[in-house]
């Protein structure tokens, strides 16, 4: 269709239809209705009318096109049931008579042709590639005419050759190639909105990532880039490598290149790719289009196919490594200690060793995948050794293995968990009974680990002193003249000193300009919760007592923090478990402190109770 063509107006139709069958006018109306539906209603080119929907003869339809009453176009359709391609001829006449509307229809036809070709190629891949011609027919061709014929045969093995076999116009072929010759990440977004794409096609496009869908082997010569997910599949005892059309075409080009090399070198039948390239560089006659029509395109295709086969070989190796990774990771199953794995101790499956025999390279690939795996924790020790553990086993490992708690904490921090083991302390609300018990055990293990760390640090500090200095310190301690120095460590909560105790009991200092009087309803709810829990103001219970959709935990907490009289102190040590406020006057009351500690020691051992008990004991000390 010419992009500058115009349509005859309704007034000009009578003269243009003179001498034609009366059904022609009815067909023009049907064509216009179909075009309008495709543009504004269904937005599908399947609404367009083809010869099978009209009453006019092929000759009359040809006259309608010649007289600029309608335009015709051909698009490619994929038959899901049969897995075949077919062409469909449609007629176009927009009610607006604007060529821009007709061009929109043509563009939609090209889009559908590209989608149909992608669906067809996906179907062919799923069925499996079967070589129609053995590569042996290209081997040992000494006759010049047979060699030129082979070059022509290879040139037809492209997407352009496939589309030409359906008699599609060059404009349509060029447009389809333009649509499909782009990175598959873009093509995925392009096809995503289509309502006609069969199941599996989008996934096949997405599998190719940033690779192009149609790979250019020479100017105006494209082939399908194979789906990486289909290159290699698990078998009974080994991985099964699926052959691809690209690899068959490369072998066919390689055999033809050897036949071409026989023209100047009698022993060329055994030459590999690199030897052939060197030979062609030495003999200009083997690169002359005058002597060998289409030879430059052949050399371009051979080089590009060689590059593609190397890419596929690497993809197969990566796929084999992915399959092997799962197998090699099984050594971590049921392990509650970090497992040290080296290149010597790693046991790759036989199918990987057949493809990659270098233990060090295998270990590096395993390590690279483990570091990207969100379910696996990886730690590199000071001597370069690597430890591995499933993330799901970390809590139980921390509870069970006292000697490795510091290592487990560091493993968590090195794997994107900023707070280390502390980030595994969960909120008590909504936990099952088993999860609550696990949290209680974890909190207990953390407290004991912190105590161990303090002792280790104190021991380390003592070891730095001379025997004479340690003797003096001992004498001073016996006489009560040696104050105990606080121990600082980033992963522990320091013991309370008089200074820290004073700071804890110091009233909160919210900005004066933001302080407000508590609403009476909130004051009542706070008092109710405070009486119910003997001085403990649990924020979630205050929210429940208020029973207001406008009051959540954050809102209540803000009101208590910005209380005008600054009567309440937030216990931040419990903020990750359960939010709690206590009146300052109670925190400064030794009798209340003692009574509350005794109550907590005899009550249920919930995580927030344990944390509060720990906090109050330190305050008491």
Task: Report the pLDDT value the prediction gives residue 488, as an integer from 0 to 100.
Answer: 41
The tokens describing 146, both together, are 């047979």
The closest of 410, 420, 359, 362 to 387, measured between CA atoms, is 410
Q: Please report, in angstroms and rounded to a whole number, the separation of the first and last CA atoms in the chain.
A: 92
The tokens describing 152, both together, are 């022509």
CA angle centred on 221, ends 216 and 223, rounded to 5°: 60
55 and 162 co-located in one domain: no
62 and 143 co-located in one domain: no
* Count of Cβ atoms closer than 10 Å to residue 202 Cβ: 17
The tokens describing 192, both together, are 């995503």
- Within 13 Å, how many C-alpha atoms sit on residue 191's CB side? 29
160 and 220 co-located in one domain: yes
246 and 297 co-located in one domain: yes
257 and 308 co-located in one domain: yes
Residue 604 within a domain = yes
What is the per-residue pLDDT across 411-456, written as a single tens digit (0 to 9) for each? 999 999 988 998 888 766 677 878 888 888 888 888 899 888 888 8
178 and 207 co-located in one domain: yes
The domain boundary, picked from 428, 448, 468, lies at: 448
What is the per-residue pLDDT across 459-483, written as a single tens digit (0 to 9) for each? 777 676 666 666 666 666 666 555 5
Residue 259 within a domain = yes
132 and 198 co-located in one domain: yes
The domain boundary, picked from 419, 448, 477, lies at: 448
Q: In this prediction, what percent of the chain has a pLDDT beyond 90?
A: 49
Can you spell out the DSSP letters for 365-392?
HHHHHHHH-TTEEEEE-TTS-EEEEEGG
Task: Report the pLDDT value the prediction gives residue 434, as an integer from 0 to 100.
Answer: 82
Residue 507 — very low, low, confident or very high, per pLDDT cuts 50/70/90?
low
Residue 58 belongs to domain spanning = 10-97
- The Cα–Cα gap between 446 and 423 comes to 12
531 and 598 co-located in one domain: yes
Residue 453 within a domain = no
- Within 13 Å, how many C-alpha atoms sit on residue 56's CB side? 25
Residue 595 within a domain = yes
Residue 104 within a domain = no
442 and 345 co-located in one domain: yes
Q: If you average pLDDT over residues 560-565, what whole number do you get?
A: 88
Task: Report the pLDDT value the prediction gives residue 310, as an integer from 0 to 100.
Answer: 96
305 and 337 co-located in one domain: no
Residue 459 within a domain = no
Q: Which residue has the higher pLDDT, 11 or 170?
A: 170
What is the per-residue pLDDT across 276-308, written as a single tens digit (0 to 9) for each? 999 999 999 898 988 899 999 999 999 999 999
pTM for this prediction: 0.67
CA distances for 94 relative to 61, 68, 103, 375, 565, angstroms: 17, 12, 10, 58, 77
Task: Report the pLDDT value the prediction gives residue 278, as an integer from 0 to 100.
Answer: 94
- The Cα–Cα gap between 607 and 511 comes to 32
What is the per-residue pLDDT across 24-68, written as a single tens digit (0 to 9) for each? 889 999 999 999 999 999 889 999 999 999 998 999 999 899 888
Taking 60 as the threshold, does the pLDDT of residue 2 lie above it?
no
Taking 70 as the threshold, does the pLDDT of residue 568 lie above it?
yes
Residue 534 within a domain = yes
Query: How many whole angstroms from its chain centre is CA 475?
Result: 65
Number of domains in the chain: 4
Residue 491 within a domain = no
Q: Which residue has the higher pLDDT, 567 or 475?
A: 567
313 and 197 co-located in one domain: yes
Q: Cα-Cα-Cα-Cα dihedral of 11, 12, 16, 20, to 10°? A: -10
41 and 131 co-located in one domain: no
Can you give the three-state secondary structure of 300-334, one letter per residue?
Answer: HHHHHHHHHHHHHHHHHHHHHHHHHHHHHHHHHCC
| Mean model confidence pLDDT for the chain | 86
The domain boundary, picked from 268, 297, 320, lies at: 320
């Amino acid at each position: 269709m010419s992009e500058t063509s115009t349509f005859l107006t309704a007034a000009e139709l009578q003269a243009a239809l003179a001498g034609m069958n009366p059904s022609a006018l009815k067909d023009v109306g049907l064509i216009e209705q179909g075009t309008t539906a495709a543009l504004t209603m269904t937005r599908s080119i399947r609404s367009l009318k083809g010869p099978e929907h009209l009453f006019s003869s092929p000759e009359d339809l040809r006259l309608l096109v010649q007289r600029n009453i309608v335009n015709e176009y051909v698009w490619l359709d994929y038959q899901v049931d049969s897995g075949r391609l077919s062409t469909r001829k449609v007629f176009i006449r927009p009610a607006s008579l604007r060529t821009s509307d007709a061009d929109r229809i043509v563009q939609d036809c090209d889009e559908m042709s590209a989608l149909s070709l992608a669906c067809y190629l996906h179907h062919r891949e799923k069925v499996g590639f079967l070589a129609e011609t053995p590569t042996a027919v290209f081997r040992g061709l000494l006759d010049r005419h047979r060699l030129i014929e082979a070059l022509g045969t290879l040139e037809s093995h492209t997407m352009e050759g496939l589309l030409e076999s359906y008699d599609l116009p060059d404009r349509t072929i060029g447009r389809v190639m333009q649509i499909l010759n782009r990175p598959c990440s873009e093509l995925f977004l392009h096809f995503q909105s289509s309502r006609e794409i069969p199941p599996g096609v989008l996934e096949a496009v997405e599998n190719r990532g940033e690779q192009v869908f149609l790979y250019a082997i020479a100017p105006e010569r494209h082939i399908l880039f194979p789906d990486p997910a289909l290159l290699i599949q698990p078998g009974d005892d080994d991985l099964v490598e699926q052959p691809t059309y690209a690899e068959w075409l490369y072998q066919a080009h390689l055999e033809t290149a050897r036949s071409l090399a026989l023209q100047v070198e009698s022993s060329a039948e055994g030459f590999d790719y690199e030897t052939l390239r060197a030979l062609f560089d030495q003999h200009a006659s083997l690169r002359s289009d005058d002597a060998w029509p289409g030879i430059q395109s052949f050399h371009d295709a051979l080089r590009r196919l060689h590059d593609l086969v190397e890419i596929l070989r690497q993809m197969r190796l990566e796929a084999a490594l992915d399959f092997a990774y799962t197998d090699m990771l099984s050594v971590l199953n049921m392990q509650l200690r970090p497992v040290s794995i080296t290149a010597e101790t790693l046991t790759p499956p036989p199918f990987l060793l057949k493809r990659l025999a270098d233990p060090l390279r295998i270990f590096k690939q395993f390590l690279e995948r483990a570091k990207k795996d969100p379910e696996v924790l990886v730690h590199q020790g000071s001597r370069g050794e690597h430890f591995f553990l499933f993330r799901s086993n970390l809590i139980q490992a921390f509870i069970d293995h006292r000697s490795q708690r510091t290592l487990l904490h560091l493993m968590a921090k090195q794997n994107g968990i900023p707070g280390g083991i502390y980030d595994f302390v969960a909120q008590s609300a909504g936990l099952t009974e088993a999860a609550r018990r696990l949290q209680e055990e974890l909190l207990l293990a953390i407290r004991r680990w912190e105590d161990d760390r303090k002792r280790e640090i104190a021991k380390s500090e003592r070891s730095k002193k001379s025997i004479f200095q340690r003797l003096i310190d001992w004498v001073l301690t016996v006489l009560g003249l040696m104050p105990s120095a606080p121990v600082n460590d980033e992963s522990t909560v320091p013991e309370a000193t008089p200074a820290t105790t004073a700071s804890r009991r110091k009233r909160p200092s919210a900005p004066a300009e933001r302080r407000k009087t508590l609403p009476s309803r909130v004051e009542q709810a706070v008092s109710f919760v405070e009486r119910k829990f003997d001085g403990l103001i649990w924020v979630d219970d205050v929210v429940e007592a208020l029973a207001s959709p406008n009051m959540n935990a954050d809102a209540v907490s803000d009101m208590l923090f910005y209380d005008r009289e600054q009567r309440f102190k937030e216990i931040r040590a419990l903020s990750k478990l359960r939010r709690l406020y206590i009146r300052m006057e109670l925190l400064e009351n030794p009798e209340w402190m003692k009574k509350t500690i005794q109550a907590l020691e005899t009550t249920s051992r919930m995580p927030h109770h344990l944390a509060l008990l720990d906090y109050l004991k330190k305050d008491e000390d």
